[in-house]
Amino acid sequence: MAGVGARDVVMRSVEDASGQRCVDLILLGAGGWAFVECRRDPEDAHGWRRAGVPEGGFDDAAAALDAARGRVAWLAEEGTA
């Protein structure tokens, strides 16, 4: 997956306890789901930045979230739903 297109929509963001990292669950305009980890730095007014490229090809949001738990350490450690 090269990136998120114009018609892709973030349907859910799951933040860590610090509020400085999140995983976005993305409904792809072409069909299917993806996730991407993001971060924000308190000293930077820019806001959220992607920490990597979106990973897609999932049939639904639950499958994307399960895959994210397997690839994003803090998400699995915190047991965040």
Total-model pTM: 0.84
Reported confidence tier of residue 74, pLDDT bands at 50, 70, 90? very high
Residues 6+ apart with CB under 8 A from 52: 36, 37
How far apart are the C-alpha atoms of 61 and 75, rounded to whole Å?
15
pLDDT tens-digit map of 3-49: 555 589 999 999 999 999 999 999 999 899 999 999 998 787 788 99
* pLDDT reported for residue 76: 87
Say which residue, 25 or 79, is predicted with more confidence: 25
From the list 24, 44, 43, 42, the residue with the least C-alpha distance to 34 is: 24
Residues 6+ apart with CB under 8 A from 56: 1, 26, 28, 32, 33, 34, 35, 64
Could you state, in order of their start, the residue ranges of all structural domains in the chain? 9-78
From the list 25, 48, 33, the residue with the least C-alpha distance to 1 is: 33
